[in-house]
Amino acid sequence: MESLSCLVLKPSPPTRLFFPPRIPQMALPGSTFVFPFSMDYQLPITTAKLALKPIRASTSAVPTTPSTTSTVTSSPTAASTKKVLVPIGFGTEEMEAVILVDVLRRAGAEVTVASVEPQLDVQASGGTKLVADTRISTCSDRVFDLVALPGGMPGSAQLRDCEILKKITSKQAEEKRLYGGISTAPAVTLLPWGLLKRKRTTCHPAFFDRLPTFWAVKSNIQVSGELTTSQGPGTSFLFALALVEQLFGESVAREIGELLFMHSADDKPRKEEFNKVDWAVSHTPRVLVPVANGSEEIEIVTIVDILRRAKVDVVVASVEKSVKILASQGVKIIADKLIGDAAGSIYDLIILPGGVAGTERLQKSRILKKLLKEQDAAGRILGAVCSSPTVLHKHGLLKENKVTAHPSAITELSNPVDGPKVVIDGKLITSMGLATVSDFALAIVSKFFGHARARSVAEGLVFEYPRS
């Protein structure tokens, strides 16, 4: 019986992790990316120009939705043979799971998200509700090119206690196929399964002392044979790109990195602010994140996760008829409520995620349009990332504000700023999107609470952030 296939415990609330500052990174010569030093392996990614390509529908077991988000695929044949399993459970870290799925699907992998719980709906560690494609029991007889475990607590313990997943991953290791884990997964899940033997390994810094001393490596990414490990939410893009390179090769990983704006720290300014005003409020900041079918999952999940870590009250509201939305790369997310139910409250900030198909649907929502105009008239804060600044523009809300956006959308805007990942102009904040949304969300934390709070949250993510 499926309900007996995994040990299911009544879970305690998810645990968010905080720990000391991360180790420094090392930029590879001639590279536009920053990758950590690894004793066994370094990602040899070099400079490249990227021509955006049309999306190829994922062959994973999820319904598809029209999307204009760009992707890179090696070839139909290669894509169909690269099968990836990403298991999730109660308390899985949502940034790690979603970034893995999104990036691997962009590369052309057939990714199956499998729940180790009795149900498909899973509440992640920061409160985001994800819907798996299938239950883990349906995957027991399948062969995967890669099994990638996200971290999070108690998510990693839930994965550890699933016998079916243990057998799948152990067979993966025995047959010399790729497997890996990020954050708490190496120490909490893979170590008890005996899958770290004679493998150099890294993990979440708060769990580092659990690793065998001789084989533990303080690096952001560690590749040791078939095993790849990484440190936390802030290294998720690096982890995913390392796996993409092993599955599809250097050129695909390089193109995906460019597509996601995975630039080096020196390539673009982190943020630029104009017409500085105080955002501090005397209460817990309240933020609305409207979402739609086709919204970009990386942007939704990263913004919500980071703001909730900073103790911001975040409401995710669907503009669709259902609270369940299908994001641009096939990740299914359950919003907290419908936009009509959210419209009765006042928000200090409304943030629009990107994803071209999702942006179009956000723009058509009459309730959201009314909310945005009321927000602007009341002098409260607006935010938009990726392609969504065009929604504010078409509703006449940008005025003379300086903005940034995804390169495909920025030409539609009247006062764009070229260069910074994040632009703040008074009570408007915009971002290029995708990998830059971590900086976007941390900039919001800094504006609400100050730099010290933002830095503390960044350290908890294992995300490089300036000291001052």
Q: Is the dihedral of CA 2, 327, 93, 351 positive or negative?
A: negative
Q: From residue 11, give the alpha-carbon distance in Å to each of 113, 261, 336.
A: 21, 37, 20
Q: Using CA of residue 59, residue 63, residue 66, residue 67, what is the dihedral sign?
A: negative
Q: Measured between alpha carbons, how far is 103 from 111 in angstroms, rounded to an integer?
A: 10
AA identity, residue 159: L
From the number of C-beta atoms within 10 Å of its C-beta (0-12, 13-18, 19+), residue 351 rates as buried
- Of 291, 303, 355, which is closest to residue 55 (Cα–Cα)? 355
The two tokens of residue 45 are 């990614």
Which is catalytic among the residues 139, 162, 203, 386? 386
Task: Tell me the C-alpha distance between 92 and 115, whole Å.
Answer: 10
Residue 53 identity = K
Six token digits for residue 261: 């704006």
Alpha helices (H) in 161-207, listed in sequence order? 163-174, 185
Q: Are strands 83-88 and 110-115 parallel, antiparallel or unpaired?
A: parallel
CB 163 within 8 A of CB 116: no
Taking the C-alpha atoms of residue 105 and residue 443, their distance in angstroms, rounded to an integer, is 29
Please confirm whether the linkage preceding 154 is cis (ω < 30° from 0).
yes
Report how far residue 18's alpha carbon sits from residue 389's, in angstroms, rounded to the nearest whole number.
Answer: 33
Specify the 3-state DSSP secondary structure of 189: helix
Catalytic residue list contains 386: yes
Tokens 């096939």 locate to: 330
Region of 111 (left: φ > 0; alpha: ψ -120 to 50; beta: rest) is beta
Q: Show which residues are catalytic.
A: 386
